[in-house]
Each structure stands twice: as structure tokens, then as C-alpha cells.
């Protein structure tokens, strides 16, 4: 018997949405290989999320390739669907959903955030760009700093680092040398934010100037000097 009587219906709806969104991100090249994962909140008391199953081709997910997890990202007993392992990063999804109050969290392996974090490892500052309105922020007279945390495999450590830098008005996080997390009220708001943020981060990466070298003094971007990166064409 399921923990919650609404689960089978809720999970079916969530599974359809998660599979459709995953296919869309995969077609965009943001979920290469088996990378990336998505979640939606099913309930808050106690916290329960439907998260994409681990290690699967995210272009090919079916509505049954989702797992219900708890506030720590652990699969709860008596899942309605087939046995699946939850995303290895479900713990960070749950933490983000709990701390931010978001209804959906998306994690994609898109390149621009990772390149930006390489250049500004203490946070990527964005300002004076119309696309900031897509994050719910001002196009002018506002500086939006996207936090950067180090990569790791322990989701509690990543969750602590996320929470330490969390601001309610900044719905995104870059995990260095890894990828991007964005959240919103639902999967659609989260995607719209992710798309705007990709544009913004591509802009700052492609318009950044200055020598490539070890991180040092702050720059006009409000973060650190660049460290070595490859361009999107793969050249230094
Ligand atoms: C190219 S595999 C990348 C994974 O290690 C991980 O970072 C990822 O995004 C997907 O993990 P998953 O467990 O399938 O949700
Ligand atoms: Zn990942």
C-alpha cells in the first residue's frame, strides 16, 4: 500500500511532465549522456518529491522512470511504480525544495554556467541585462549574483554549501565543473528561468575580457579574475 492514497495519480502526472521536460532538455543538448535530473514536489508535510530515476537516458524516460523520495533524497518504501534508483543528486533537489519552497527543481549539464564558474569561482555577477527579468529581477539597478559551490558526491555537503549562500530572490546555483540547478514554482517556470540564465551566462562568458590565469583580484563583474577555461568551441 502506498504511503499516500493520491500517489499513483499524482506520480503518473508528475512522471509524464518529468519525462516530457527531460526529453526537451535532452534535445537542447543540456542532458548529454545520462546527465541531468529533474524533480517536482508532491507534498510538503512530510516533504515528498518525484525525481527522475538514476543513470537513464534522459531523452528516453517514460512516466514510470521516476521515484518518490523524502526530504533527504532517499526513496520511500512502497513505491507505486517499478523499482528504480532515484537520481544520485536527489538529496540536493530535496534540500533546494525545502529551503527555497520551490515546486520544481531542474539540474542540467549546460556548458555556460560551468565555464562562468571557472572564471568567477566565488559567484557570477549579472547586471544591466533585459533577460534578468526572466529571473524575476530588475533589468537595471540590480546585481544578481549566481552562487557557485564546489562539486562533490556527498549531497549533504553540497546542500550545506547551497544553504549557506541561499538568497530567496536568486533561484539558481552553479556547481563548479558540474552543472546548473534552477528552481521555480513548477517545471515550466524553472525551465524558463534556466533558459534565460543560460543566455545571461553565455553573455558574460563571451563578453568577458582580461588575462586567463589563476584566480586573483576582484573584477568589474564583482567576482574573481579568470582561471583557465576552454571556449565552447573547445579551444583555449
Ligand atoms: C554524465 S553522468 C552525470 C551524473 O553523475 C550526474 O551528475 C547527473 O547529472 C545525473 O545523475 P543521475 O543519477 O542519473 O540523476
Ligand atoms: Zn549532474
Euclidean distance between CA atoms 68 and 80, whole angstroms: 9
Measure 73 CA to ligand 1 centroid, in angstroms. Answer: 14
Residue 147 pLDDT exceeds 70: yes
Q: Which atom of ligand 1 is nearest to the CA of 55?
A: 14
Per-residue pLDDT at 230:
34
Residue 225 pLDDT greater than 60, yes or no? no
Secondary structure (DSSP) of 83-143: ---B-TTHHHHHHHHHHH--SEEEEE--HHHHHHHHH-TT-EEEES-GGGGGGTS-SSS-E
Q: What is the mean pLDDT of residues 1-29?
A: 87
Quick check: 75 and 86 in contact, CB under 8 A? yes
The whole-number pLDDT of residue 80 equals 83
Q: Is 230 in the pocket of ligand 1 (CB under 6 A)?
A: no
Q: Cα separation of 219 and 226, whole Å?
A: 9
Joined together, the cell numbers standing for residue 75 give 526513496
pLDDT at residue 218 above 50?
no
Q: How much is the pLDDT for 141?
A: 93
At 227 the pLDDT is 39
Please give the pLDDT value at position 236: 32
Sign, CA dihedral 42-44-48-51, equals: positive
pLDDT of residue 84 exceeding 80, the answer is: yes
Give pTM, 2 decimals: 0.89
Q: Note the Cα 101 to chain centre separation in Å.
A: 15
Q: Whose CA is nearest to atom 2 of ligand 1?
A: 35
| 26 close to 20: Cβ distance less than 8 angstroms | no
Residue 21 near ligand 1, beta carbon < 6 Å: no
How far away, in angstroms, is 116 Cα from ligand 1 center?
20
| Separation of CA 35 and ligand 2 centre (Å) | 6
Residue 221: pLDDT band by 50, 70, 90 thresholds?
A: low
Which of 52, 69, 89 for a ligand 1 pocket mutation test, highest count of atoms within 8 Å of Cβ?
A: 89
Closest ligand to the CA of 33: 1
Question: What confidence tens digit (pLDDT) does each residue in 31-46 have?
Answer: 999 999 999 999 999 9
CA atoms within 13 A on the CB side of 101: 4
| Contact indicator for 102, 96 with CB cutoff of 8 Å | yes
Any atom of ligand 1 within 6 Å of the Cβ of 22 = no
CA of residue 109 to ligand 2 center, whole Å: 6
> How sure is the predictor about 217, in pLDDT bands with cuts at 50, 70 and 90?
very low
pLDDT of residue 233: 35
Burial bucket for residue 4 (CB in 10 Å: 0-12, 13-18, 19+)? middle
Instruction: For residue 212, name the pLDDT band (cuts at 50, 70, 90).
Output: very low
What's phi and psi for 11, nearest 5 deg?
-70, -35
Report whether residue 121 contacts ligand 1, using a CB cutoff of 6 Å: no
**Mean pLDDT of the 172-188 span:** 98
Strands 148-149 and 172-175: parallel
Amino acid at each position: 500500500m502506498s504511503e499516500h492514497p493520491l500517489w499513483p495519480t499524482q506520480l503518473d502526472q508528475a512522471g509524464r511532465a518529468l519525462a516530457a521536460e527531460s526529453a526537451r532538455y535532452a534535445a537542447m543538448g543540456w542532458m548529454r549522456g545520462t546527465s541531468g535530473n529533474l524533480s517536482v514536489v508532491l507534498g510538503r508535510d512530510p516533504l515528498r518529491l518525484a525525481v527522475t530515476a538514476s543513470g537513464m537516458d534522459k531523452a528516453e524516460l517514460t512516466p514510470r522512470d521516476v521515484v518518490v523520495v523524502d526530504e533527504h533524497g532517499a526513496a520511500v518504501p512502497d513505491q507505486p511504480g517499478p523499482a528504480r534508483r532515484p537520481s544520485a543528486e536527489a538529496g540536493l533537489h530535496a534540500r533546494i525544495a525545502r529551503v527555497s519552497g520551490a515546486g520544481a527543481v531542474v539540474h542540467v549539464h549546460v556548458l555556460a554556467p560551468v565555464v562562468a564558474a571557472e572564471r568567477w569561482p566565488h559567484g557570477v555577477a549579472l547586471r544591466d541585462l533585459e533577460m534578468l527579468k526572466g529571473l524575476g529581477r530588475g533589468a537595471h539597478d540590480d546585481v544578481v549574483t549566481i552562487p557557485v559551490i564546489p562539486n562533490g558526491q556527498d549531497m549533504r555537503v553540497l546542500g550545506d554549501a547551497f544553504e549557506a549562500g541561499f538568497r530567496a530572490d536568486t533561484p539558481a546555483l552553479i556547481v563548479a565543473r558540474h552543472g546548473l540547478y534552477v528552481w521555480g514554482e513548477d517545471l515550466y517556470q524553472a525551465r524558463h528561468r534556466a533558459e534565460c540564465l543560460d543566455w545571461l551566462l553565455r553573455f558574460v562568458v563571451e563578453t568577458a575580457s582580461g588575462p586567463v590565469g589563476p584566480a586573483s583580484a576582484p573584477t568589474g563583474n564583482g567576482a574573481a579574475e579568470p582561471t583557465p577555461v576552454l571556449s565552447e568551441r573547445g579551444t583555449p
